[in-house]
Every structure is written in C-alpha cells, then in structure tokens.
Amino acid sequence: MSRTCGAGRVRALSLAVVCAVALSGLPSAATVALDTTTGAPGIGDPYWPLDGNGGIDVRHYDVAVDYDFATGELSGTTTLTMAARTDLATFHLDLLLPVTAVSVEGVPAAFAKPVEHELRVTPATVVARDDVVEVEVTYAGRPGSIVYADELNWLASDRELLAANEPHMAPWWYPANDHPSDKATFDIAVTGPATHQAVSNGLLVNRRVDGARATTQWRVLRPMTTYNALLALGRYDVEQTTRGGLPSYVAVSRDLPAFERSAALRQLRRSDEITAWLARRLGPYPFESTGGLVTGLPAGFALENQTRPTYPGAPDTELLVHELGHQWFGNSVSVRRWRDIWLNEGFAQFLQHYWLETHRGQPAQQWLRKTHRAFAATRGFWRLDIADPGAARVFDNAVYVRGAMAVQALRHRIGDRTFWRLLRAWTDRRRHGTGGIGDFRTLAERVARQPLDGFFRAWLSAPRAPAVTRRNGLR
C-alpha cells in the first residue's frame, strides 16, 4: 500500500449532515428530476446526494480567484459555459462561499443559498433545453472555515496554500457541477503575492505582475473532473522542460528543508520519463502537459490532479507511478458514480506492482499470492464490497490493496497479452469520458471472450477471500 492511502482528511460521511439537509425543505433529486423546469440540487449520486446538479452540462469553467494570506479570504469570479439538458426556470450549482452576484447571458439573475453547499439561480428568463449559456458568479469568503461532508478541505498557512482533495474540492473555491460525470475544460487565473508562484493544471499561459500582486493564468485543454482542479500558491522552486514534445512543469515548496527539496526535485523530474513508460503500456498520454508539485504543507496524502499531481513531501517512485497512472485511470477515464472508485484506485495501485515487476524483478503474481495468503484469515479485509464501498469508505485500504489484487488476478486469469489489450481498449474507447465497473466487466468479457461474472463477484463483492483456483487467477 502506498502512502496515498495514509492519513486522510476525509472522515466518515456523517449521516446526520445528509439527513439534516434532506429535512431542510430541499426536494430530493428523484422528486425534482420529474420537474422539467427545475434543475435538481443533486446529480443523483447516492453517496453524496447534493453533489452535482440536475439539468445542466458544464462545457467550460473560466475561474478567476484572488487569495489574501493575511485574512484567509478568497474572492472570485467564475464564468461557466453550460448547456441546459431541460428547460430551466431555476438551476443549482455547488459552492460553499457567500455569493454577491449572478448573471446569465449578462443579465442579472436572482439567487439564493438554501443550504451552504447549494447556489440556486433563477434567471430572468427560462433557459430553454439545449441552449448554451454563460453564467457568471461573483463570490467571496473564508474557505478555511467551511466544512462539508465532514471535510475541511482548505490547507493554508500564512505563506502557502494548497487546495487539493477528492472527492470534494471545487465548492471551496469555485462554483461547479461538482461530480466526476460532468467534465469540462478550464481557464484558471490566480492572483496572489508577486513573491509567490501560482500552480494549477495544464499549460502556463501567462503571468502578469501588477505592483505587489501577480496574476497567473493556466489553461486545461482536455476535459477535467471538478475535483481535479488544483489551486496552489507558495514560494516554489520551479522547473519547466519539454521532452518528446510534452511540456513538464514541476514545483517544490521552498518551505521544505534543503535535503528534502533536492530529493523532491530529483523525483519530480522523473514524471516525464514515467509518463512515457506508462504510455507504452496504456496508450497515448491523454493530456497536454505533465509534472507535479510537492507542498510544504501537511497534506497527508498525494492526489492525482490532472497533469500536475500533488505530493506531501518527496514522492518515492511507486507513488509517482500511482499518481501518473491515474491520468489514464481516473482522469481521462473517470468514474461515472463514486461507487466505481475501484476503477481509479485498484488500477493505479496495480500499476505500482507492475512497476516493481519490471524494474525490481518482483513479479506482481508473487505479490498477489503472498498477500492473499497473508490476509487469508483476516475477515475484515474481505468484507467490504469494493464495487460499492459506501461514501465513508471510498478510500478504504481494501479498495486499494484488494483492488490491485483483483487487477493482477484478472491479468493472470486472462493472460498478459489479452490483459494489456483490454486496458488499452478501455483507455482508448473511453478517453476523456467516464465509465462504470459494469462497463469494464462487459469489455473484459468481450476482449477475453469468456464470462467473468463469477470472477468479478469473487474479487470485488463476495465477503470472503477468493478460493485458490485458476478461475480466480490464483493458480
């Protein structure tokens, strides 16, 4: 298990929070979905009923934020280009900060915050189904004081800021249709002290200094999930290179001790080489740049932020492989619903073992057998249904370790060649899209030309250790 599964800031989703919201007068997603003129407050993911919103499809976010280290206040203006999937008399966005103005197509709109997480917009005129409109939201507040779904996601000191988390991060700094099934391109402009660098996703397009403040613009050319959007402000050592036509941008916090800074930089420099290695197995790299960021803040876990993963301290090589592996599994092909998290973590974790096999002579199948034996008598390890772990346990150890075991077992069962053909077919057909575990199983059965329902049940859902059989990939 990598450090990615270590201490997290997400704790169990408090049912009390959900219930309080359900009782607060907001209709449930299911009720509202029947009303074609009202956008529902949730997209219909039972893990977090208020995440995402009904009736809208965001195509592009233009985010401009300004952060003040002295007060901890963030102010912003975000313009969303979005399509209406139904006639919309009102619609919702997800944003935790107080809002001062909203306009739709340049016309002021009425708005309300029925609960902290929801911004309800009522445009002056109904937005007709299939219309594409620009929605501008102006807001300001102190993200560091806000808790949602038991997460306090704002990590900031008086000198560095890192907004990076999963499954939720966007509503602490920009209004979003906050669910991985609605991906969009982004422009992200960050204003902060001119002594600092602002780091985000994609390509650095401009940096403009105006007195003591600097505004840095980043551009994301390929669709990105909302939790992947990165906001980092700090004093960083930065290196920009281009290898094989792929730009790489790496940043290391100067707040780290010198020995760790140099170790971090040395490791981050390998991001392009590891990206290229992964591309040889998984198919063409899906994005416009690569790189990474090592924070000086106590982040507690790494995150696969699109094109620019973030790490708490110098990453070891396996962690680089994990987060860069997520660029295919999670970022290019994203979960359709949060219950599909195995498609992210099981595969990223498996790739670490594949790296160890090819670079350190430790066969992944040997690791699988050893781990299966080691956990054979540990009932708790096998109990969780990792194809539907529940909101409180999306990052459970079992999702990672059993998840990776399942992937290796599949590889052994269907054979190495068929397995890599399957992975390439998956990442190719669903590139920049989404997928669920059922879709993966269907494709696996087609590529391997055999039924695999028993295999998937045994490895993902049955509450016991899979029997040591050929069919379970253990012989």
CB of 40 to Zn ion, least distance (A): 30
Does 439 participate in binding ligand ARG (rule CB under 6 A)? Answer: no
Q: For the chain, percent helix, then strand, then coil, each to nearest 5?
A: 30, 30, 40
CB 359 within 8 A of CB 434: no
Residues 474 and 462: their CA atoms lie apart, in Å, by 16
Nearest to 413 by CA among 385, 361, 453, 384: 453
Residue 165 binds what, of Zn ion, ligand ARG, none (CB under 5 to 8 Å, by partner type)?
ligand ARG
Piece in contact with ligand ARG (CB under 6 A), picked from 4-12, 137-145, 356-364, 429-437:
4-12
Contact with ligand ARG (CB under 6 A) among 148, 354, 395, 455: 395
What does the per-residue mask of binding to Zn ion show for 304-343, with x meaning CB under 5 A? ----------------------------------------
Nearest to 77 by CA among 86, 65, 89, 67: 65
Question: Measured between alpha carbons, how far is residue 466 from residues 367, 370, 454, 463, 470 in Å?
Answer: 15, 13, 10, 9, 11
Residues 289 and 301: their CA atoms lie apart, in Å, by 22
Cis peptide before 171 (omega within 30 of 0): no
How many residues of this chain interact with ligand ARG, rule: CB under 6 A?
14
CB 46 within 8 A of CB 392: no
Does 165 participate in binding ligand ARG (rule CB under 6 A)? Answer: yes
Half-sphere exposure of 282 (CA within 13 A, CB side): 26
Stretch 330-369 residues interacting with ligand ARG (CB under 6 A): 345
Does 407 participate in binding Zn ion (rule CB under 5 A)? Answer: no
Piece in contact with ligand ARG (CB under 6 A), picked from 120-128, 204-212, 230-238, 301-309:
301-309
Does 301 participate in binding ligand ARG (rule CB under 6 A)? Answer: yes
Piece in contact with ligand ARG (CB under 6 A), picked from 174-182, 297-305, 371-379, 464-472:
297-305
Contact with ligand ARG (CB under 6 A) among 10, 231, 297, 404: 10
Nearest to 144 by CA among 48, 233, 71, 230: 71
| Closer residue to ligand ARG in complex, CB, 51/166 | 166
Contact with ligand ARG (CB under 6 A) among 56, 88, 278, 302: 302
Measured at CB, which residue is nearest to Zn ion?
A: 348
Nearest to 228 by CA among 268, 284, 186: 186
Does 390 participate in binding ligand ARG (rule CB under 6 A)? Answer: no
Residues 309 and 164: their CA atoms lie apart, in Å, by 9
Nearest to 5 by CA among 279, 285, 389, 296: 389
Contact with ligand ARG (CB under 6 A) among 51, 118, 166, 340: 166
Measured at CB, which residue is nearest to ligand ARG?
A: 8
Half-sphere exposure of 307 (CA within 13 A, CB side): 28
Residue 166 binds what, of Zn ion, ligand ARG, none (CB under 5 to 8 Å, by partner type)?
ligand ARG
CB of 3 to Zn ion, least distance (A): 10
| Closer residue to ligand ARG in complex, CB, 322/413 | 322
- Beta bridge mates, 197: 234
| Closer residue to ligand ARG in complex, CB, 8/114 | 8
CB of 12 to ligand ARG, least distance (A): 12
Does 304 participate in binding ligand ARG (rule CB under 6 A)? Answer: yes
The residue type of 409 is: A
CB of 277 to Zn ion, least distance (A): 18
Phi, then psi, of 122 in degrees rounded to 5: -120, 100
| Closer residue to ligand ARG in complex, CB, 187/345 | 345
Does 32 participate in binding Zn ion (rule CB under 5 A)? Answer: no
- Beta bridge mates, 68: 73
CB of 399 to ligand ARG, least distance (A): 9
How many residues of this chain interact with Zn ion, rule: CB under 5 A?
3
Q: Which helix (H) or strand (E) holds 242?
A: strand 236-243
Residue 395 binds what, of ligand ARG, Zn ion, none (CB under 5 to 8 Å, by partner type)?
ligand ARG
- The secondary structure of 285-341 as a DSSP string is --SS-EEEEEESS---S-B--TTS-EEESSPPHHHHHHHHHTTTBTTTEEESSGGGT
Stretch 115-154 residues interacting with ligand ARG (CB under 6 A): none
Does 348 participate in binding Zn ion (rule CB under 5 A)? Answer: yes
Q: At what angle do helices 342-360 and 397-414 cross, to 10 degrees?
A: 60
CB 456 within 8 A of CB 391: no
Residue 10 binds what, of Zn ion, ligand ARG, none (CB under 5 to 8 Å, by partner type)?
ligand ARG
Residues that bind Zn ion (CB under 5 A): 4, 345, 348
Residues that bind ligand ARG (CB under 6 A): 4, 8-10, 165-166, 301-304, 322-323, 345, 395
